[in-house]
Structure formats: C-alpha cells, structure tokens
Structure 1
Amino acid sequence: MQNASIINSAVVTIALLDQDGNILSINSALERLFETTSDEMYGKPFANLLSGQMVEYFARSDEAEKVFNYRGEIEVVLKSGAWIALDVGVNAWTTEEGLLRYTVVMRDITDRRRIENQLRETQHRLEVALTGAQIGVFDIDVHTGHSIVSATWKVLMGLDPELDNDVQQEWKSRVHPDDRMMIAEADKACIEGRAERSTTEYRIKAPDGPWRWMRSDAVAVARDKHGVALRLVGIQADITERVKDKEDLRASEAQFRSAIEDAPVGMAIVDTNGKFLQVNQSLAYFAGVSQSQSMTESFLRMTHPDDRGAVMNEISRLLAGQVKSFHKETRYINSNGTVIWGLLSVAIVRDSRDRPRSFVVQVQDLTEMRKADLLKRQFVSTISHELGTPLTSINGAISLVLNAMKGDVSEKARRLLSIAQTNCDRLILLVNDILDIEKNAAGELQFYPVQAEITKMINDAVAANAPFAAQYDVAYDFNSPKGAMSVSVDVNRFQQVMTNLLSNAAKFSTRGSRVEIAVRRVKAGILISVTNQGSGIASDFSPKVFAPFSQQDSSETRANGGTGLGLHICRLIVERMGGTIGFDSVPNQSTTFWFTVPAEGSVEADRVA
C-alpha cells in the first residue's frame, strides 16, 4: 500500500504492465496526462496509449533472452488531437513467482522538445543569414587556443564544412606574414582589456593561390577576476572586393585630381561653402596668385561683385537639383585689380545619398577673346556706318534720277539704274542686319515694348509687303481673329519679324499661290503663323535655318538672293520679346513659320503647325 501511494503521488507518469505489455495499473499523473482512468485502461495494451508504438518491444516477452530494458523519446497524439513528446523508460523485471513484469516511467518533455525545435529553427535561420551575408562566426578559448567556427567560416577559408580540421592552426598558416603582428597586437589589447574589441583587416592565402582580404571583429564575452579575457567571439567577412573598390576609387580620384592639375584651363574643386579644396596652376595664374595663396581665397571672392548674384542664383539651382551644371560668362578681379573675363562652367558632385558634396569648377580665360570681340564690333560698327551713309546718298540719288528725270533717261540706262537701286537696297538691308546682330551681341539692341493690338499690326505688315509679293505673283490672305488680342511688344521690331517672314514666304512661293497668315491663342501667348506653298525646306538644312549667314543651296535661293541673316535676326528679336520661333515644312508642299509673343489670358495650345 505504501508503494502504491508513492507511485500514485509521483510527478512522473508510471505504469505497471504484465508480461504481454497489458496495463495492470497506472498512477494519477498518467491518468491526467492521457485523460483516462486505471479501471478504463486495465488489461489493455499499453501500446494503445502510445498510438501503437512499442508493440514490437512487448511482443518479445515470449523469449526471455530477448527481453531488455528500453529508453527513448517518442511523440504521442492525445484524444484532444494535441501532440506531446515523452521520455520513456521501461524496466523489465521478474516477480517472486517468476512472472515477467514491466515498469514504465515517462516524463513529459513537450516544452523541452518545443524549445529545441525553436533553437534548431533559429540556428537554421542564422546559418542561412550567415551564408547569404557570407559571414563566418568564431569562438576562441584564449587559454587553450581551441576554436569553434561556423560552417560559413570554413567556406570563407576554402575548407570543407563537413571536415573537422584544426581550424586555428589552419588559419594561422594562411595569414600573410606582414599582417600577423598587427592581428596579434589587436587581439592582445582586447584580451587584456585595453581595447573594447579586436578589429583587423588582413590578407589570407586562398587554397587556389591568390590573397584574399578579410575583416575580423571580435569581443571578449567572459573575463577572469583580473579582467583578462577567457573567450573571444567574433565574425569574419571577405572584403576583397570592397578593398579592390577602394583601391580603384583612390586611383580614380588620383587620376581625376591629376587631370585637374594638368589641365590647360583653370580648374578647381570647391566645397559647398565656396572654399577651394583644390586649385590647379592654370586657375591660379588666371587669378594672378600662387596656388597656395588661392587656397586661402573663396570662390566667390574672386568673382566680380556685380556678377556674384547671378552666379549664386545658378549655384542655388544646382543645390536644389534643378540643373546638373551651368555655363556663364563671368567677370573676375585679378590680384592687381584688373577686370578679366572667363567662361565659368560648374558641375555638382553628389554622394551616394544624393547630398551635395562639392563642385567641379572650370574657368576658361575669355579676356583676350573679349578684347578681340570688342575690336571686331567696333570695326563692324565703323564700317557699317561708313557704308550706310554713302549707300543712303547713292540710293537717294538713283531714286531722284529714276523719278525726276524719267523722260530724259534711256530705257537701257533706266534698267541699269534699277539694278543699281535694287543692289543698293540689298546692301542697306545687309548693313542694317549686321548692325542689329552686333548690337544684340553687345547688349545694345534696344526694345520699347508697348501694348498693341495684334490684328492691326499684322494688317499693317500685310499692306506694307503686298507690293513686294506682287512681284512674285503672290497674294497674302489674313484670317483676322474674332475679338481683340492685345500683346506687349516693340512694334517696330514686331514689324521687322513680320516683314522677314512675309517676304521670305513670297519669294519661295509657287507663282499664283496665296500666303496664309493666321493668329490664335496658345498656352505661351499669341501665335502668329505664315504658310506658303512651294518647294519647302530640305530636312538636312532644317537645323541650320536660324543660323547666321545660312542659305539653302538651291537654284531658287540663288535666284531670290538674300544675306542669310533675316531668320537669325527674327529669332533674336522674338526671344528678346519673350517668345519662341520655329517652323514646319513638308518638301514640295507647304512651309509654315510661326512665332509666339506673350499675352494675358493665354489658353492651352493646339499643336503648333
């Protein structure tokens, strides 16, 4: 009775079985675990509780010599459907009467098994992460020198993960001789507590021959009472590609800096505060100082005060990411106080996070070019004025002869005088065009914008150019828009553009055709278009249409004459008035030249055509 009481009160589950493995009794712990009773289970096979497991074990009871004790772990599904893990121990014994009996002792190890499974899953995930990141883990016993390493550490070392090598000795034999002292010093400082961790980058010999770069980072996880480390645990990673990238970057930066230093034009690297980080000899010479002196100056300080605002505006656009670079003719102050000109080109350099890092600055000396341009403009202006005055006199004299002395001049003489007058008119136009171009280049082309009604200005232009069109048997058609359209333009410059476009349209139209003039509102303001029917513009000449002195090489062009400056001047005028100009041409069909001028209340444009 005392034994029964002890068994019944035991925390572990206990069962007593007969020689066939049938239940004779079970304790209360087993009843609670399997949700059953002794009476219900009496005489039934114990294997039934274990989902049929251990049947073969109890079947050996007929052969005494084959009976043995058992110890193992099994998983069982309960009535509720839940599974549990059991540590099962079976002890076979014989009664005084010689009967075979079994005592079964079981412990519920479900929680332990669950934790083990979680640990295995965590370890598996860690191994996957380490493998993916190519990171090896090591744990070194400082006193014995014995190392425990992860499989990824072995892979990094070129070792078979399944082999049990002396990894510490293998590692030591592979480290580059020049790096051994550095590693030993770092480890010693960490072991003695003089450093929090041992971090080193070193070379190691790969099994296939080349040297690989490794980075090791270890910490002490246990120390004795004297503060000396007992174990070092750390990670190791292959950084060969990173080291190679750094070396390539250093070589690239050195090459870039060398290119700046040796450049024949002024170049510099400037930080975001305007301080020079590098200045080459050419830029120092441009500023009239030595390279060492220039390094003490700021970029803006050498810029002419009147130009600093404009340069700062462009710098602000660079910093805001609106542009990647800009080019601007800028004045500078030489060390002797002389104003010098340079073509400033600035590009921004950003880091991997797109943050401004520095500026690459180039300054091309334009001082002599500016002087030459000034002399050229003065020469052209002088020549143009010198030609303009006598040409006007000659033209007036020819007109006087043709009109006042009409009856006294022979037909042959009149024809020669008409040719002279035509060519004189062409020369006057050429002189005026050249003067306009030079004035624009010098910033002296004057504009006097006023509010004007677009329809009236176009009607005036059509009326003024109608006689010219009649010479080519061409007429103008202007479809006046409904309602008033007011624009802000220089009326005379507007008429200059219209005269160029209308005269060109007439000259290059098919005889007997009509030139159509149209006006409509667009997003950019008011669009004026002039369309003629004729041979059109060749596609290979299209990019040159608005270039100065450009003429399409054709018999028609040569017959109609011209200087090739008209459309170039039209573009200068339109852009100065805040508009745009362009054209669309279908060879041997039609050509439309159009331009826009700003207007209040503009609406979304249809396709410009």
Structure 2
Amino acid sequence: MRPVYFKGDTAFSAALGCGLAAGWYGAASAVFPEAAGGIIPAAGAIGIAGFLPVVLGTRPFGQKAPEAARSHSNMLKQLQALDMHAGINMVSNEGILSEVNDHLLALTGYDRKELIGQHVKMLYDEVSQSQTCDIRNFLEQGSTWQGETHLRRKDGSTLVTQATIIPIFDKKGNWAGSISARTDVTETSKLQAERHSAQTLNELRDDIWIIDAQTEKFSYLNGSAKERLKLVNEEYLEKDLGDFNLASEIESVLKACRALRASGDVTTQFEAELVGTPMYVSIKYLPDPRGAGRYLIVSTDISHRLEQEQRKSAFISTVSHELRSPLTSIKGAMGLLLSGSAGELPDKALALLEIAHRNADRLILIINDILDMDKISNGQMEFDISDVDLVELLKEADRANAMLQQRFGVVVTLSGADKPVFLKTDPNRFIQVLTNLMSNAYKFSPPNGRIVLDIADAGEHVRVSVKDEGQGIPLAEQGKIFDRFADMTNSDRAAMGGTGLGLSICKAIVENLGGTIGFDTKEGVGTTFFFNLPKNEPASNAVDDVDVKRIA
C-alpha cells in the first residue's frame, strides 16, 4: 500500500485515527450489543487509533524511536485483529477503488481484481447510491462520514454495513480520496427490522394469530389477540389448542385452516363469532418446503359495521314499506279509472293515465327489488318448495307478460314445451326469475325482435333459457352483469333504467334453489340468459350460502 497523507500535522492524524476508532467502536457495539464497552469494540478502536498514524508515517507525540518501534509492533498486532473484523477499502477522489482488504472481499464475494480499478458505486445498492453525493460533500470538507451503507454482494444479495469513511489528503493538502472501515451488521439490521415488524403487529387493533400447520399450536399471538383470548405473556406457546377455554371457537378456525390447506388454495375469508364478537376472519396458508408451513390468521372486529348495516337495512325496509302501501292504492285507483268505473274519459286523459299507471307499476317493482335484496342480504327470504310442472310455469309467465310483449313489439315463442317437466322448486321464485330475464330481453330487443323461451333436459339439471336478438353485452360489462347496482356504461343499456338489482336477485334465488345461472352473448347478435335447476330437491328453504351474503 503506497504512502498516503492526511491534511494537517501529526496531531490531526492522530485525531483522525481516534475518529475512525470511534466509528469502529459504534459499529462493533451495534453488532455485539452485549459487549458494548467490552473487549471487541475496545480492541478494534485501539487498533485503528494506533494504525492511522503508522500509515501516515508519523508517531505519537513524545515517543522516541525505540518506543515508536514498540508502538509500531503493537499497532500492527492490533491492526491484524481489526483486519479480521472490518472490511477496509481505499477510494480515490474520483471514486475508484484502489485497495481492499481480504475481509471486505470475503463479505462481498468478489475477487480483488474484480474490484480494484472499478468505481465504488458497483459495491453500493440502489439505496446507498443515493448517499454518495452526501458522503462526497462530507469528505471534500475534511469531515468524517459515519452511517449505515447497503452494499451489493456479487450474488446480488444485500450486505448492510456500519461504515466510517474519512478523507485522505495529499502533501499539498488536496483531497485525494478516502479510507473506509465497514462492519457487517446485516443480521443486526434484520433483527431490528423483525423487532419493528413484531412491535407493529403487536400494536395493531386486529387480532393476529400464527399457527404451526404441523403441531397445530400457536407460534405467535399479537397483543389484541392475547387480550381477546385472555392470555398473558407467552403461556400460549406451550399449550395445545384444545387446552384453551375457547377450544370450540378456536377449533372452528382450525377446521377452516385444514380445509384451506387440503383444497390447495392459499387464502380464505369468512365471518365467525369469537369470544362473543363478530369477526371477519382472513386466513393465509404460508407453505414451507422444510416443513408443514404456517397459517397466518387476521381477524377484524366487525361489530360496528354490522350495526351500521342493520340500521341501514331497517331504514330501507321501513321506507320501502311506507312507499309501497300508498303506491298500491294509487295504482288501484288508476286501474279503476282506466276500466271506466268512473265514467268515460277523454282520449288525452286516458293516455296520461296509462303513463301514470305504468310508472306506478315501475315504482312498485323497484320497491319490491329493494325489499327482496334486503331479505336476501339478511338471510330472510323464504322459499316454498313443491312439485311443479316447469312447462306450465313457463306458459304462465308468457301469458302474464303479454302486455309487455305488445308494448315492446316483440314476438315470443316457446321451445321444448311440448310435454310436462316436473321438478321440486318454488313456483313463485321460479316465475320471478323467469319474468326478470324476459323483461330484460324485451327491453334490449329491436322492434319485431324474436325471443325464444326454451326448456331442455341437461342431465342432472333442467335448463331454462331466454334468448333475444338484441345488441349483446359489451365485453367490459360482462364480468359485473350479476353485481348489485352494476354500473353499465353502455348508454343504450343505461337508458333502459332499472335498479341494477334484478339480475343479482335472480342469481341469489337460483343459487339458493341449488342451481346456477349464466349467459352467452355476442355483440350485435344477441344474448341468451339461462339457469339450471337440479332435478333433486333443493337442500334448503332459506337463503344461506349465496354470494350476496356479506362474506362469500
């Protein structure tokens, strides 16, 4: 290593040595927190303090030649110890690496020839490259820079170091470069990050559980979870889940964990009651190639949300019922007037009355949709299952919609209705679904358009379909067609009006009857909506596990 010079006299050189020593002491203390003030930090600090004057060709004040020689020998021994614990490099004022020690090579994985002559930025990752300007400014002003730097190893991994970088000056006092001492604090940094993450998790209001998938024991509970389960300290780590007072509630979550792992999925969500509190539970399975993995369970208290939903539901229900009663009376009165019960009316008055009568019908349908969706969301819609002939129900729906067919100028034909098709289902809900699909077909069909109502055997199911020759459904809207209040951006479809609830209600009814619903469409050609009902009796008679429920 060729001689280098520091700006100033011997005292300044010794001061710089002490500065670097202080940096080593701080770095060593970070890596060896239990040894702060002990042998490792202190020995390294002494080594640096003595080493720098030697590099500069100086000796401490007051020392004679023999004493300086002994000091030199001791310093070299201390330097050897330092060399084992710190990565050292020298850099020119242009940022070119001119010297590196073996320890830095070992830390980074590079060979000496790969680094010497290269810009020091090749060692820095993206985080620390932004620091280079600040470091350079410190060094140009003759100041020592201390701090954390992130180096990039040859294999691409990150090496976190605690660094002390001091400037080097030539004989004329010009800044010539710098010398750096770096200590690997990667593991310390990781531990600090993990402690920070653990502290953050512990302070979250959500309950966090981590369960070992093999032992099915808790491996972590945050503060909120321990408080809810009435646990103190880390006593839960030694217990089987069955040993807890709330074993049945914990077991329900554990069953969901097992089912998730068996299914091959990695996440699931549901609502459950834990310790008397309604919770939204989200489970994520974290596989581990070395073992069975872990379950990460996050539970959120949804009491307030459910309370707000109940208030909203009660308000909607009250308003809807209060509106429906007077509307029914108004519609009935207008029906009597249209029938001539109050005497003959002028043609102009009749035309206006017919418009009002149709709009009263429309308002009642909207209110009914809102009430139905409210019942579905709360699991309160009832179903009356009986043996019915679907062909007769198909014909009944066709007859009931005769006026709408005439109004929209469409032609309806029945297909597959030549013989009875018996099934156990709710006839009123069946007609409700079919009427909604037919109404949509009328709205989106051109004048004189043809609509086909078809019933067909589909193996274990019976398929009922409504086919139109309308404009079709744009691709961008197809994914949300069964969503509540779907925002249809197509101006022609939006102009048809409606609550945006009809198809969502149809989906909920069909699924509760044990069936499925879907559609085929082609823009500019038409759309076919269909639903399949099982030939066996539906499993339930009340809305339960349908995706209009709060949690799917």
Identify the TM-score tier after normalising by the shorter chain. 0.5 to 0.7
Q: Does 1:316 align with 2:211?
A: no
* 1:311–1:343 CA distance, 2 compared to 1 (3 A): same
Asked whether the equivalents of residues 260 and 280 of structure 1 are also in contact (C-alpha less than 8 Å), the reply is yes
Match of residue 325, structure 2, among 379, 385, 389: 389
**Within 1, Cα distance between the matches of 2:247 and 2:372?**
29
| CA apart distance, 1:512 | 0.9
* 1:304–1:386 CA distance, 2 compared to 1 (3 A): farther
Helix, strand or coil: the match of 2:498? Answer: coil
User: Could you say which residue in structure 2 is the equivalent of 1:210?
Assistant: 105
Match of residue 209, structure 2, among 268, 271, 274: 268
**Within 2, Cα distance between the matches of 1:515 and 1:294?**
69
| CA apart distance, 1:363 | 0.7
Asked whether the equivalents of residues 341 and 367 of structure 1 are also in contact (C-alpha less than 8 Å), the reply is yes
User: Could you say which residue in structure 1 is the equivalent of 2:74?
Assistant: none
How many residues end up aligned between the 2 structures?
372
| Structure 2 gaps, min length 5 | 1-76, 85-99, 109-154, 160-185, 538-552
User: Could you say which residue in structure 2 is the equivalent of 1:327?
Assistant: 269
**Within 1, Cα distance between the matches of 2:235 and 2:314?**
36
- 1:361-510 map, 5 Å: 361-405=297-341, 407-480=343-416, 484-510=420-446
- 1:529-608 map, 5 Å: 529-550=465-486, 552-554=488-490, 556-557=492-493, 560-600=496-536
| CA apart distance, 1:557 | 3.6
* 1:309–1:277 CA distance, 2 compared to 1 (3 A): closer
| CA apart distance, 1:412 | 2.8
Asked whether the equivalents of residues 287 and 293 of structure 2 are also in contact (C-alpha less than 8 Å), the reply is yes
Asked whether the equivalents of residues 83 and 101 of structure 2 are also in contact (C-alpha less than 8 Å), the reply is no
Asked whether the equivalents of residues 413 and 453 of structure 2 are also in contact (C-alpha less than 8 Å), the reply is yes
Helix, strand or coil: the match of 1:495? Answer: helix
Bigger drift between 455-464 and 318-327 goes to 318-327
Helix, strand or coil: the match of 1:433? Answer: helix
**Within 1, Cα distance between the matches of 2:158 and 2:488?**
60
**One-letter amino acid of the counterpart of residue 451, structure 1:** D
Asked whether the equivalents of residues 268 and 283 of structure 1 are also in contact (C-alpha less than 8 Å), the reply is yes
Q: Does 1:348 align with 2:243?
A: no
**Within 2, Cα distance between the matches of 1:498 and 1:294?**
59
**Within 2, Cα distance between the matches of 1:302 and 1:425?**
57
**Within 2, Cα distance between the matches of 1:546 and 1:416?**
35
**Within 2, Cα distance between the matches of 1:585 and 1:423?**
30
**Within 1, Cα distance between the matches of 2:319 and 2:333?**
21
- Report sequence identity in percent: 30
| CA apart distance, 1:295 | 4.1
**Within 2, Cα distance between the matches of 1:482 and 1:311?**
52
Helix, strand or coil: the match of 1:211? Answer: helix
Helix, strand or coil: the match of 1:560? Answer: coil
| CA apart distance, 1:266 | 2.4
* 1:483–1:421 CA distance, 2 compared to 1 (3 A): closer
RMSD over equivalenced CA pairs, Å: 3.8
Structure possessing the higher radius of gyration over alpha carbons: 1
Asked whether the equivalents of residues 468 and 528 of structure 2 are also in contact (C-alpha less than 8 Å), the reply is yes
**Within 2, Cα distance between the matches of 1:460 and 1:564?**
25
* 1:295–1:569 CA distance, 2 compared to 1 (3 A): same
| CA apart distance, 1:456 | 2.2
- 1:24-63 map, 5 Å: none
Helix, strand or coil: the match of 1:420? Answer: helix
**Within 2, Cα distance between the matches of 1:435 and 1:293?**
50
What do residues 47-104 of structure 1 show as CA deviations (whole Å, max 9, x unaligned)? xxxxxxxxxxxxxxxxxxxxxxxxxxxxxxxxxxxxxxxxxxxxxxxxxxxxxxxxxx
User: Could you say which residue in structure 2 is the equivalent of 1:292?
Assistant: 233
**Within 1, Cα distance between the matches of 2:384 and 2:429?**
9
Helix, strand or coil: the match of 2:468? Answer: strand
Helix, strand or coil: the match of 1:320? Answer: helix
- 1:67-78 map, 5 Å: none
What do residues 420-460 of structure 1 show as CA deviations (whole Å, max 9, x unaligned)? 22121111111111111111111111112223333222222
**One-letter amino acid of the counterpart of residue 382, structure 2:** Q
**One-letter amino acid of the counterpart of residue 456, structure 2:** R
Helix, strand or coil: the match of 2:408? Answer: coil
**Within 2, Cα distance between the matches of 1:473 and 1:407?**
30
**Within 1, Cα distance between the matches of 2:321 and 2:479?**
32
What do residues 349-400 of structure 1 show as CA deviations (whole Å, max 9, x unaligned)? 33315x4333211011101000001111111111111111111111111112
* 1:535–1:241 CA distance, 2 compared to 1 (3 A): closer
User: Normalization by structure 1: what TM-score?
Assistant: 0.54
| Structure 1 gaps, min length 5 | 1-172, 181-204, 214-239, 334-338, 602-609
